[in-house]
């Protein structure tokens, strides 16, 4: 196998640059966009986001950025600190199917596709991973812990240690010290000190992003949905890579258009369409499989509880005191307390969050996405289902990976689930 590899870097591990994969990545995105564009009544402002994911414009733009680019995984890495150090953050979790197999040349087969796909980006020299000068990876699951070690053969890696529990003073103290060490590490990498004014500026910038995201979030509550789950998730995931100010501008424009649609009562589907909540393992571009099946079968995802969706942008850093210590404390809290990642010892707050979202967004059912070999979400699904059953909310668990082989059996189950919701409504 390895004899095909062209580039040796930095001596121990091999990187294969292959333009074919870049093309396949764009093609996978274009197929999704074709489906999304077919949706009746979609907002014109979405065209920016469709283009964003089907062209290399942003990659080219970032190549000319002369500061450091820092990649990260999961939802625990404070972007505020990266910006405060004059660097650009990029979230590297990947949903690309074709990079899974090449990664298996170096990683075991039996780990989740998200980890293999993301690592595949590194060994194939694909953007955005190839733009990164360093990577931050939290110890959120076993696969991530070990991925940090594997990646350190390629580039500088900071393994961000998470506490096992979010509760208690010991966890808070430990986490705050981790955040401070991370700041020192990034400062060392960039040569820029993230002091009081830099931190404040970064916090305020991301407050603007949260504010516009919350406008979009509120618009998803409309009785007649004005935006699909696919479009909403695409907007969130554009924020993983886009220039923040431009993203804020484009998302504001989208919200203006959606508000206009709401005023005119012009939705993307009839008001009696089954309203669904999507939860579970992260759904990441271009792995739109479950979204395409659900929304292509006549349901609409009105809200998600994904770390790659709403959870990524919803919470602002809430600062009591704009001192350096006060801001670092507020940043630490923001990236720990609201997280409902199943890597923590207890999952009660995730279940409470699901019930709360279910009520707020008037959902008819829950779609639970369980990525193959992601034990955390797989194991939690039984408890989540039990609680939802008690509340009379139907749940469909989809256990799958990034391949397209199981599309038809999943479609059949989704159609039956939507039919059951419809019948339940008539009886109700």
The residues of the shown chain that bind ligand SF4, judged by CB under 6 A, are 74-75, 93, 112, 114-115, 140-141, 143-144, 281-282, 307, 341, 343, 371, 374, 376
Q: Which is nearer to ligand SF4, 254 or 301 (CB)?
A: 301
Angle subtended at Cα 79 by Cα 162 and Cα 218, rounded to the nearest 5 degrees: 100
CB of 88 to ligand SF4, least distance (A): 20
Tokens coding 361:
């967004």
Q: Which is nearer to ligand SF4, 37 or 346 (CB)?
A: 346
Q: Are 62 and 56 in contact (CB under 8 A)?
A: no
How far is 109 from 100, CA to CA, in rounded Å? 9
Q: Which is nearer to ligand SF4, 252 or 375 (CB)?
A: 375
How far is 228 from 220, CA to CA, in rounded Å? 9
Number of neighbouring beta carbons within 10 Å of residue 126: 23
CB of 284 to ligand SF4, least distance (A): 9
- Hunting for tokens 């579970």 — which residue is that? 280
Q: Environment class of residue 273 by beta-carbon count within 10 Å: exposed (0-12), middle (13-18) or buried (19+)?
A: buried
CB of 293 to ligand SF4, least distance (A): 19
Q: Are 199 and 327 in contact (CB under 8 A)?
A: yes
Q: Which is nearer to ligand SF4, 189 or 343 (CB)?
A: 343
CB of 63 to ligand SF4, least distance (A): 27
Pairing of strands 14-15, 7-8: antiparallel
CB of 4 to ligand SF4, least distance (A): 27
Work out whether the CA dihedral 221, 224, 229, 232 comes out positive or negative.
negative
CB of 103 to ligand SF4, least distance (A): 13
CB of 226 to ligand SF4, least distance (A): 27
Residue 240 to residues 68, 141, 235, 400, Cα–Cα distance (Å): 16, 21, 9, 24
Q: Which is nearer to ligand SF4, 305 or 364 (CB)?
A: 305
Residue 257: what are its φ and ψ, rounded to 5°?
A: -65, -40
Q: Are 259 and 266 in contact (CB under 8 A)?
A: no
Angular region, 136: left φ>0, alpha ψ -120 to 50, beta rest: beta
CB of 12 to ligand SF4, least distance (A): 24
Q: Which is nearer to ligand SF4, 50 or 240 (CB)?
A: 240
Number of neighbouring beta carbons within 10 Å of residue 426: 6
**Which of 52, 30, 324, 335 minimizes the C-alpha distance to 193?**
324
Q: Are 7 and 18 in contact (CB under 8 A)?
A: no
Q: Which is nearer to ligand SF4, 74 or 410 (CB)?
A: 74
Q: Which is nearer to ligand SF4, 115 or 384 (CB)?
A: 115
Q: Which is nearer to ligand SF4, 296 or 338 (CB)?
A: 338
Q: Which is nearer to ligand SF4, 54 or 237 (CB)?
A: 237
DSSP-derived letter for residue 327 is H
CB of 40 to ligand SF4, least distance (A): 33
CB of 114 to ligand SF4, least distance (A): 4
Residue 141: what are its φ and ψ, rounded to 5°?
A: -155, 170
């Amino acid at each position: 196998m390895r004899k095909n590899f062209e580039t040796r870097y930095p001596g121990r591990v091999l990187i294969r640059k292959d333009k074919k994969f870049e093309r396949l990545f764009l093609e996978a995105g274009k197929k999704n966009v074709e489906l999304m564009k077919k949706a009746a009544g979609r907002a014109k402002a979405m065209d920016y986001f469709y283009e964003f994911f089907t062209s290399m414009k942003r990659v080219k733009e970032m190549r000319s950025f002369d500061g450091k680019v820092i990649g990260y995984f999961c939802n625990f890495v404070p972007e505020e600190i990266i910006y405060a150090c004059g660097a650009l953050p990029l979230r590297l979790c990947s949903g690309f199917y074709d990079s899974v197999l090449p990664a298996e040349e170096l990683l075991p087969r039996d780990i989740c596709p998200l980890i293999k796909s993301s690592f595949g980006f590194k060994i194939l020299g694909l953007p955005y991973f190839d733009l990164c000068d360093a990577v931050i990876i939290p110890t959120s699951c076993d696969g991530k812990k070990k991925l940090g070690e594997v990646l350190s053969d390629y580039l500088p890696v900071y393994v961000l240690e998470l506490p096992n529990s979010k509760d208690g003073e010991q966890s808070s103290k430990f986490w705050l010290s981790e955040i401070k060490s991370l700041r020192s590490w990034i400062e060392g990498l960039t040569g820029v000190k993230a002091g009081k004014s830099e931190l404040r500026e970064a916090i305020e910038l991301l407050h603007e992003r949260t504010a516009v995201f919350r406008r979009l979030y509120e618009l998803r509550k409309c009785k007649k949905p004005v935006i699909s789950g696919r479009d909403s998730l695409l907007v969130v995931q554009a924020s993983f890579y886009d220039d923040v100010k431009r993203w804020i501008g484009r998302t504001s424009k989208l919200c203006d258009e959606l508000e206009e649609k709401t005023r005119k009562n012009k939705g993307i589907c009839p008001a009696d369409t089954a309203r669904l909540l999507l939860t579970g393992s992260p759904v990441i571009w271009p792995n739109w499989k479950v979204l395409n099946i659900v929304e292509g079968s006549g349901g609409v995802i009105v809200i998600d509880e994904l770390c790659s969706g709403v959870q990524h942008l919803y919470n602002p850093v809430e600062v009591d005191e704009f001192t350096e210590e006060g801001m670092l404390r507020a940043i630490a809290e923001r990236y720990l307390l609201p997280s409902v990642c199943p890597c923590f010892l207890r999952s009660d707050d995730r279940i409470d969050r699901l019930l709360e979202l279910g009520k707020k967004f008037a959902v008819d059912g829950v779609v639970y996405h369980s990525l193959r070999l992601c034990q955390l979400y797989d194991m939690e699904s039984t408890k989540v289902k039990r609680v939802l059953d008690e509340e009379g909310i139907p749940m469909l668990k989809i256990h799958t990976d990034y391949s397209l082989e199981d599309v038809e059996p999943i479609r059949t189950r989704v159609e039956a689930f939507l039919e059951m919701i419809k019948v339940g409504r008539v009886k109700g």
